[in-house]
Structure 1
Amino acid sequence: MGNLLSNKKDELLPMDEIKHNILRYYNLEHASIVNIKFKDTEKQRAVYRIDLNKRSYCLKKVYYNEEDLLYVYSAMEWCFRNEIDVPKLLPTTTGSRYVKYKNMLFILTPWLNGEKCDFDNLTHVLLSSSTLGRLHKSSKNFRPIDGSAKREGFDNYSESIAKHFNQLLLSINNAHKYNDRFSRLFLDNIDENLELAKISFEVSSSIDLNNLSRSLCHGDYVNKNILIINNKVSLIDFDKCAFDFCSRDISYFLRRLLKRENTNWQINLTLNILDTYMEENELTESDLRYIVAYIAFPQKFWKLSRDYYKNIRKCNKNSFISLMEKGLNKSKNQLEFTYEIINTFRKHYNIKI
């Protein structure tokens, strides 16, 4: 997992170097700069706020290559032209949409002063769901500009779940083998989580890949990337966008919402979100099965146990135990939710699961 490594260095480049070698291409070399975020990881990135003459901009160092940047630019332009509110990449004085400096790529957009989507605010959540539906509907025929990378998802989710399920079984064997504190905690809570994994695998096995809806997908549709401005949604951070299954985007959004304490596995909220989405974009029977399989799988439980036994000789065991304990009280709620959502989908959407 990537961490903010301020102990290595706390800035990407000296501010004067940014002004003279990057901002001058936007006629902003006299602007003030505030370092908003810097991650010195394998996917190194940085975000700055630029202020000049009562106007503010967002300067971002991206972590991917020019072909990927062209794809991201294509996606944002497509959204803009289809009335999905996104920040536009501003042109340089040479007409380019980015600056290349020291083999790094920088883009500039207007600074958006919106409120991050509040997952405890139903209006915010439903606005976000509706906007995602519009994004998917309007981009079924999306094509990136020439020279862009080919970004496509379409992973076989049933195969992924089968792999995860086998890793969970391997973790059970390792837990019996090591019998340490983490292992005993893991085994004490295996029943509900193993049942969740079984349900996820069984439902995913019934998905017809040819019946899954496809479109341009945001790829990281979570509250920090959804800004609410005067009850309108603006979407930011298209770094992970790709042509993919619509159900993956909406499932990712749902799981991040439902695993929270305040919105923990609520059936009515889930239906409200999906109904609002489907007012803009239809979901097929396989789309709905994908959603059930995705949000049923015990993601945290599986990942923590996999990573623990993979790194058992060098990991911080107390940290793994602490992380495991934080999520255990929600497993029962997730299992009850999964049983109920399957029955509710059968009645509400008249599908067989």
Structure 2
Amino acid sequence: MYNRENQILEQYPFEVKQTAKGRGALICDTDKGLKILKEYRGSEGRAEFLYCLLEFLKEHGQEYIDCIVKNKEEKAITVDVDGTAYMVRDWYEGKECDTKNREDILRAVQQLAKLHKIMREFPQEIPEYLKGKNNTLLLENEKHTRELKKVRNYVYSRKKKNDFEQKFLQSYPMFYREAEQVVELQRKELERTDTDSIYGICHGDYNQHNVIFTSKGLIVLNFERASYDVQAGDLGNFMRKIMEKHNWNMGLGVDMLAAYEKVREMSIEELNQLYIRLAYPEKFWKIANHYFNSSKAWVCGRNLEKLEKIMEQNEAREAFLLLMKQKV
């Protein structure tokens, strides 16, 4: 493997001084700064699009970003003799966004708003395979809701129920009702929303691990999952994970929304989309799905702990969602 990596790196216009394993990749100290070599699973066309997008961001104020380094043949990816594709990108050392640090969180939200604002100005035509479909999330949530009912029927049929199963049946009506209400709202929104107003290029995997604080400033990494979709999805995914860690603290939620809108104001349609992403009981579905697909003879105590936690948090969660609903 070492020789393979060396052979790949020899095809790039820099000299490698030292390498180290990290993040499932090879971090390289070169005469042109830190680089990272990582296996790439997408198409060549997607890689070229990503190269152009990152260069566009760099030209529009995002000076430090993990731009793709083209090889000596001016290609965004390099293919090994066995057909495995690799990509080299600029890399930076720093600390990840601290999910316990309010300032880190709000700066990360503002940075996301900046990226969304710039990416809406990207002039190139978006390839069809990068465009999300209007009903993708609706179909996904409809599927998850059916799965919840399936798990409920299975648990209900068991004669001897363990602690987790009893707690699941206790909490099921509340969370299932929430799921149905969100799916119904999604159907209505799909009929009346002007999709052009809510779509733009998304990061696709915006989380604390991809937001790095360095001496050069805040840097966002790993745009591999970038797509043309509902930009509120990026904010919703980030907010949900942070709010879960902070027991759905209303003040923090309000500050996160304000931090985003300080940079880029959201339309009513976008706020509705954000509400949908926060209101669907995603965590409850994940716990139920994990239980159903694991051994029923031995239920992990962690599942019960997670279920009890989201039940305890749900009052605060509903209070924040009610506040959001009043906003839209």
CA apart distance, 1:94: 2.7
Greater alpha carbon shift after TM alignment, 190-199 vs 236-245: 190-199
Residues paired across the two proteins, number = 320
Q: Distance in 1 between matches of 2:277 and 2:115?
A: 21
CA contact (8 A) 1:86 1:235 kept: yes
TM-score by length of 1: 0.81
Unmatched runs of 5 consecutive residues or more in structure 1? 1-13, 39-46
Q: Distance in 1 between matches of 2:121 and 2:13?
A: 37
Greater alpha carbon shift after TM alignment, 185-194 vs 317-326: 317-326
Greater alpha carbon shift after TM alignment, 225-234 vs 265-274: 225-234
Give the 3-state SS of the residue equivalent to 2:11 in structure 1: helix
Give the 3-state SS of the residue equivalent to 2:201 in structure 1: strand
Match of 1:287 among 270, 273, 293: 270
- Change in Cα spacing, 1:342 to 1:184, as seen in structure 2 (3 Å) is closer
Give the 3-state SS of the residue equivalent to 2:69 in structure 1: coil
- Change in Cα spacing, 1:60 to 1:69, as seen in structure 2 (3 Å) is same
CA apart distance, 1:176: 1.4
Q: 1:150 aligned to 2:132?
A: no
CA contact (8 A) 1:89 1:109 kept: yes
CA contact (8 A) 2:175 2:284 kept: yes
Q: 1:186 aligned to 2:168?
A: yes
Q: Distance in 2 between matches of 1:290 and 1:26?
A: 43
Q: Which residue number in structure 2 is paired with residue 119 of structure 1?
A: 99
Give the 3-state SS of the residue equivalent to 2:67 in structure 1: coil
CA contact (8 A) 2:15 2:31 kept: no
Q: 1:304 aligned to 2:287?
A: yes
- Change in Cα spacing, 1:217 to 1:53, as seen in structure 2 (3 Å) is closer
- Change in Cα spacing, 1:15 to 1:221, as seen in structure 2 (3 Å) is same
Q: Which residue number in structure 1 is paired with residue 12 of structure 2?
A: 26
Supply the AA of the counterpart residue of 1:190: Y
CA apart distance, 1:54: 9.1
CA contact (8 A) 1:258 1:265 kept: yes
- The residue correspondences of 1:1-353 to structure 2 (distance < 5 A) are 14-19=1-6, 21-26=7-12, 31-38=17-24, 47-52=25-30, 55-84=33-62, 85-101=64-80, 102-144=82-124, 150-156=129-135, 157-179=137-159, 180-181=161-162, 182-207=164-189, 208-210=192-194, 213-230=198-215, 232-260=217-245, 263-309=246-292, 311=293, 315-317=294-296, 320-347=299-326, 349=327, 351=328
CA apart distance, 1:149: 6.6
CA apart distance, 1:166: 2.2
CA contact (8 A) 1:196 1:335 kept: no
Q: Distance in 1 between matches of 2:243 and 2:125?
A: 36
- Change in Cα spacing, 1:53 to 1:67, as seen in structure 2 (3 Å) is closer
CA apart distance, 1:324: 2.0
Give the 3-state SS of the residue equivalent to 2:179 in structure 1: helix
Q: Distance in 2 between matches of 1:75 and 1:163?
A: 33
CA RMSD of aligned residues (A): 2.6
TM-score by length of 2: 0.86
Supply the AA of the counterpart residue of 1:339: E
Q: Distance in 2 between matches of 1:237 and 1:286?
A: 28
Supply the AA of the counterpart residue of 1:97: A
Q: Distance in 2 between matches of 1:16 and 1:230?
A: 34
Q: Distance in 1 between matches of 2:16 and 2:215?
A: 32
- Change in Cα spacing, 1:318 to 1:177, as seen in structure 2 (3 Å) is closer
Give the 3-state SS of the residue equivalent to 1:57 in structure 2: strand
Unmatched runs of 5 consecutive residues or more in structure 2? none
CA apart distance, 1:333: 4.4
- Change in Cα spacing, 1:149 to 1:194, as seen in structure 2 (3 Å) is closer
CA contact (8 A) 1:153 1:244 kept: yes
- Change in Cα spacing, 1:117 to 1:319, as seen in structure 2 (3 Å) is farther
